[in-house]
Structure 1
Amino acid sequence: MANALTSQMYGDYNATSPLRPEAREAMHVAMGEIGNPSSIHGFGRAARKRIETARASILNDLGLPDYRLAFTSGASEALATVLTPATQSLATKQRATHLLIAPTDHVAALQGHGFDKAATTYLSVGRDGAIDTQALKKALSALPEDAQTIVSVHGANNETGVLQPIDEIAALCDVHQALFVCDLVQWVGRLPVGDARPAAIIVSAHKLGGPAGIGAIVYDPMRLHLITPLIRGGGQERGLRAGTENAIGIAGFAAALKTACDTMAGEQQRLADLRDRFEHELLATHPDAVIFGRGAARLANTSCFAIPGREAALALMQLDLDGIALSSGSACSSGKVKASHVLAAMDVPPSLAACALRLSLGFATTSADIDQLLTSVARWSTPDRGLESPGSDKISRKNANLTQSAIGESA
């Protein structure tokens, strides 16, 4: 995808997607409307109707029309709202007492949950980053009989694209009456939710071509009761999230998801073909390259790779000089230079993890973009040429000023 101003190749869709034309149009229309959805006059009722129409559209596109949806400012707020001891199981009538979570989960879950250390168990994952379901079964069985557990799972990893076995996890949670909370931020719009039917799923619009600043908790009202909202005051969203609803963002959210779902099958095959071509040609020219999670089920759009000895921090700068936007790790870490917790949990040696880059493709990615990327990689990864760009001086490690914008980790 060429940026209108700089002709850059954008390969960082897992951090945020460009706005889909359909979302842009829906938001443009919404900007022309007026009315607070909580007002009782005609303008307010019309605004409320538009929001409820969008809410129903999102639930239908997710294949969960019997669930409820509470809009939030995004996935981080949604996770913090659900992953708390105040969340109650309607089956057992108990509030949550324990959290099971994988070390590869998003930092918004790992750092944003409300459980203390004694009430938190970290699940083991394999070398590919997938949860060991036998270990999960043992962990659930080992808890006290009166425990009410939340199992938090990042369905599709933002760094590696590795998919968790959510159907198996859901079945285990049902047997043990645990509440299955699934972060499907990277999953939704790329894969069907299927039959797993977690107690709650987390969704974010800007990962699927909608606007930033709008997300949702989608939950089963027959299994889960959310008691304590993070933001109180107005009673909006069934009391789960106070504040006037973001009607413009909601309109863009619904339009983006509809387009993503309508084009899903053909688009994901197209992206898989582009990703596979990149990986095939990378390995052909760099037999020592490593593609993380390659043997596991992955998102079609994601490739997390490393060329040993070529540190990601410098590689990202070279790619940027060549007009290419990739990432290393997760952008939600705001440019901090540190090892990926995901790769660490997968037992990747720190020296190799420091070389990891993430390519994530999307609806505007073209075959020409892959050509441009391969040309750039060949330029800076060749040992006798080093990290350099046409017309620029060689970048030295000593003088490299690794700024926030150059090495932000993406979510």
Structure 2
Amino acid sequence: MSSITETLLQLKDKNITFDHENISECVIRHKKSLVLYGKLTYTPDCCPNCHTTNGIVKNGTRQSRLSLCQISGLNAYLSLTKQRFYCKICQSSFTAETPIVDKHCFITNRLKQKIMDTFTETISETYIAKQHNVSVHTVRRIVDKVASTLKVNHNTQLPHHLCFDEFKSVKSSDSAMSFIYCDALTHQLIDVVHDRKPSTLLDYFARYDTQTRKAVKTITIDMFRPYIQVSKQVFPNAHIIIDPFHIVQALNRELTKHRVHVMKALHQNNRRLYNKMKRYWKLFLSNTDTLSSYPYHRFPLFDWMTHTQGIVDYLLEQVPELRATYDVVHQLRAALHNRDFDRFEEILIWAKQEAISPGLRRVLRTFKGYLPYIKNTFIYHHLTNGALEGINHKIKVLKRNAYGYRNFSHFRNRILFMCKLYVPYTVPSTSLVA
């Protein structure tokens, strides 16, 4: 084989001889394609049937058309003439084999590798099959066959810091939500479980030995109480951390609900004020230190020049029933941002005397119930579920692009491919953890 062909096609088999004078262009499957020609022959060491070294003679050839990676945007094939052999001892026949393609297969391993490379993207398997000129069933077989190497080994050690979360599952699953967890430091996905029921998670984590589970130091979760129950039973030495994103999300949600409730009362009586509150809703959620007090500008719906801080102050003056809820939400967010747990706890105590919305009052009661775990949020401020939320977003995009999945096992394999096929060499330093 010439070094040029070996380098360009990545067909590294010295037993293949290419016909460089005969490269044709023809139509295959209604598409213009390139066809290369080659011959595979060698002297076999022994008969694969009886393992004798003598008595093997050549016995004709067999033609195979192997699918290659695209060349210059055209589908490419290798018309390979394989040598046939006959054993005089056991009277059996066999065909010459090559490492560039599996036995009884017509898709080269290099093309399979290229297909696997695309599994890291959030694109559908139908599109992958179309781009590589193979069938959808071929793509699915590659996913299910190779994904077994990416599945978690319960005999290995768990990371010291874990993140728990869930995502919307498929119809074939027993539960509406599936469980997912990853390493809090390296952000590498570990595994996906078909549901998030406590019984299922207890059985799943029980596969790890006791010493491995005792070595886990922290678990970052949202405010889903079954996760706390499972964590206490399975990981006795782990500190449970409430993800700060979910704390801020709960506060913002109740502030928005109360603002919308107040706006509905203004819809008929004061339409101008209603329009102002609707247009500048983002300013209510902005951090107070990001609101500017200068310079003055013209803003739509305002007859005078003002600034973003002036807009918020004006709207709160016009709607005083929103002031208490706004102040409590932003003071709690500021305490969380400044990592001041004493201030956060102090606000929870005096806020119940304020005229806040019923929804926010309910959220604050929830915070009091989770206060020991929220305290860990302030201590381990570098550990969040942000990476896992990003993985969940990729899963959502993958499912949308594929118009949904029906089989959970196949969906799980695709997720493992997307997140675990290539693991980065660099690992973040553990010094980030308090």
Q: Of Structure 1 and Structure 2, which has the larger fraction of its residues in helix? A: 2
Give the TM-score normalised by the residue count of structure 2: 0.21
Give the TM-score normalised by the residue count of structure 1: 0.22
Q: Of Structure 1 and Structure 2, which has the larger fraction of its residues in strand? A: 2
Q: Which has the larger radius of gyration?
A: 2
